[in-house]
Amino acid sequence: MRWLRLINWKRKPMPEFAQDNLTPRLMPDAQYYSEAPGRVNLLGEHVDYNGGAVLPMAINRLVRIEAKLQQEGTFHIEAIDLGKSVDFSLNSVESKKDVNGKQLPGWALYPAGVAWVLKNEGYPVKGIHAAFSSSVPVGAGLSSSAAVEVAFAALWQVVGDWIADPLKLAILCQRAENQYVGVNCGLMDQFASACGVEGSAVWFDTRSHESRAVKLPENTVVVVADTGIRRGLVSSAYNERRASCEEALRHFQRAIPGIKTLREVSIHDFNRFSAGLDEIPLKRSRYIVHECARMDHALDVLSLNDATAFGRLMNETHAGLRDDYEVSCAELDAMAEIAWKLPGCYGSRLTGAGFGGCTVSLVERVGIDGFVAGLKAGYLGRIGRNAEVYICEAVSGAKAEKFPGCGS
C-alpha cells in the first residue's frame, strides 16, 4: 500500500482575517461572521468531474461575510467590492428573481443558489442582512465563486444552529453551482474551501470522497501568478469539455463493460480502445486518462519528498491542458514558460478551469524573491502586462461564528 507523509487531520482555526486585503469591518452591528478560503489546485485538473483524484490547497485569500438577522425568509446581500446590493426572498429565489421581480445579477446567483439548495434540502435558512468582501481574485481560477458559496453555507449553518460536516457543506454548494448557477463543476473547489488543512495540500478522491492531508516537498513554496486575463465559466467552453468527456466515456463503456468514469480507463486501455473516437473527445479523454495516471504517480513522488519529480508532473499537466484539453491561452503559456526557465522552479502550470486566470509554480524556498521578480519582469517583457504574484500558504477550511456579546 502506498505510503504518504500524512499529518493529523484535526482542523485548526483559520488564521486571523486578512484585514489588509479586505474592508476592516463590513458591518459594525453584525451578529455573525464567516470566512472561506479560495484554493489553488496543484495537480489533477479537470478530473474531478471524471471520477479522478485531485490535490488542491486552500490558500490565504479569503471571502469574509458579516451578517445580522432580519425578517424571516428575506435576504439583503451587499457585495462590498462591487458596490452593489440585492434583495431576494425564499419565495423569489426559485425563479432567480429579486423581490421586485427582476432577474438576479450574476454575482448574486451564488448566495441565492446556496439559499435555494439549503431550502430544498430542508435546512433552516434564516433571513439575514449580510455584507461580503473577498481577497480571492475573481475569475482567476482560484475558486472565488466556491469560496462565496461555502462562506454563505457556513454562515447559514451557524445562524440557523444546525450541523453538517464540511464535506456535506461542500456537496450542497456544488449542487448550487451545478443546478442553480449552471456551471457543471466537479466537487474539488467547494471541497477545498470547506475542508482545507493548515500547512498541507489535501489529496481528495472525488469518487470515494476519501481525503488525506499531504505535505508538499520540504523547502518549497507555492507561488500563484495572475495573468490578468479573465474568462467567465458559464459563457466559456467548460461545459463543452465535460460533454466531450461524457461522449468519450460512452465510447469506452462499450469496450470496457462496467466502468463508470474515465478514471477507470488506464493508459493501456486508452491506447487499445480509443480508435473510432472523434478527434475532440479523443483529445479530451486522452488528457483525462493521462492526468489521472499522473495523480497516482504524484502520491509516490510526494511520499519520497521528490520536488523535481513532482514539478515534472506539473509541467506535463500544463502541456496536456494546452494541447489536448485546449484550455490554455497565450498568456498562461507565457507565464508557465517563463517560470520553467527561472532558477529554483521545479514546475509550473495553469491552475483552475483555464481560458485565463493563474499559473501555479512549485519553487525552492531559497531565492524565492528572485523568482517572483523574474516572473514579473519576464511576463511584462513578453506580454506587456503587469502580473500579480502571490506566495501562498495553506490554510484550514471555512469557519463561521457568532460575534461575542452581540445578542441573539
- CA gap 287, 317 in Å, rounded: 8
Picking from 114, 67, 77, the residue whose alpha carbon sits closest to that of residue 93 is 114
- CA gap 203, 201 in Å, rounded: 7
- Render the burial of 232-241: b for 16+ CB within 10 Å, e for the rest: ebeebbbeeb
- CA gap 271, 276 in Å, rounded: 12
Picking from 60, 79, 210, the residue whose alpha carbon sits closest to that of residue 152 is 79
Picking from 131, 90, 254, 117, the residue whose alpha carbon sits closest to that of residue 179 is 117
Q: From edge to edge, which strands make up the β-sheet containing 388-392?
A: 345-351, 358-364, 220-226, 388-392
Picking from 89, 63, 78, 93, the residue whose alpha carbon sits closest to that of residue 129 is 78
Q: How many residues does the chain have?
A: 408
Residue 53 near residue 192 (C-beta atoms within 8 A): no
The active-site residue out of 29, 98, 161, 189 is: 189
Does an H or E element contain 40, and which? strand 32-41
Q: How many CA atoms lie within 13 A of 39 on its CB side?
A: 36
Q: Which three cell numbers stand for residue 62?
A: 479569503
Look up 189 and say whether it is catalytic: yes
254 Cβ partners below 8 Å, 6+ apart? Answer: none
Does an H or E element contain 65, and which? strand 56-69
- CA gap 205, 186 in Å, rounded: 12
Q: Which three cell numbers stand for residue 50?
A: 471524471
Residue 396 identity = S
Catalytic annotation, residues: 189
